[in-house]
């Protein structure tokens, strides 16, 4: 079966760095996405990785290792507005997105 695993909840301090991990087992791989979802709102796109390595975009970076079925999202200089759920999704062999349940990130002052 297809499976995406990520921690249910994480807590971090304002100004700090946090790493959210995602492991996956899917039938085929056509890229991995990270989305941010604030409570009661729609998901919004953060990043896309299809090749191994690190993609940096401002305070957010995303890493992929296809051989390990592993990705992480790194958030630096955390701000209170970063409190949200972070969703990992993999595009499978049919280009359909398989979604993880999301990691709820709580930022404390």
The span from the CA of 60 to the CA of 57, in Å, is: 5
99 binds another protein (CB under 8 A): yes
DSSP 71-105: EEEEE-S--GGG-EEEEEEEE-TTSPEEE---EEE
Closest Cα partner for 71 from 43, 32, 40, 42?
A: 32
DSSP 8: S
23 binds another protein (CB under 8 A): no
Only segment of 15-23, 55-63, 70-78, 95-103 that touches another protein (CB under 8 A): 95-103
Site string for another protein, 34-53 (x = CB under 8 A): -------xxxxx--x-x---
- Give the nearer residue to another protein in terms of CB position, either 78 or 88: 88
Residues making contact with another protein (CB under 8 A):
4, 8, 30-31, 33, 41-45, 48, 50, 87, 89, 91, 95-102
């Amino acid at each position: 079966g297809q499976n995406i695993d990520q921690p249910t909840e994480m807590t971090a301090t304002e100004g700090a760095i946090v790493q959210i991990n995602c492991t996956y087992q899917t039938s085929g791989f056509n890229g991995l996405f990270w989305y941010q979802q604030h409570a009661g709102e729609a998901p919004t796109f953060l990043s896309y990785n299809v090749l191994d390595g690190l993609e940096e975009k401002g305070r957010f970076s995303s890493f992929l290792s296809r051989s390990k079925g592993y990705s992480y999202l790194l958030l630096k200089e955390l701000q209170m507005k970063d409190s949200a759920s972070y969703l990992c999704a993999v595009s499978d062999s049919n280009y359909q997105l398989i979604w993880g349940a999301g990691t709820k990130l709580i930022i404390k002052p």
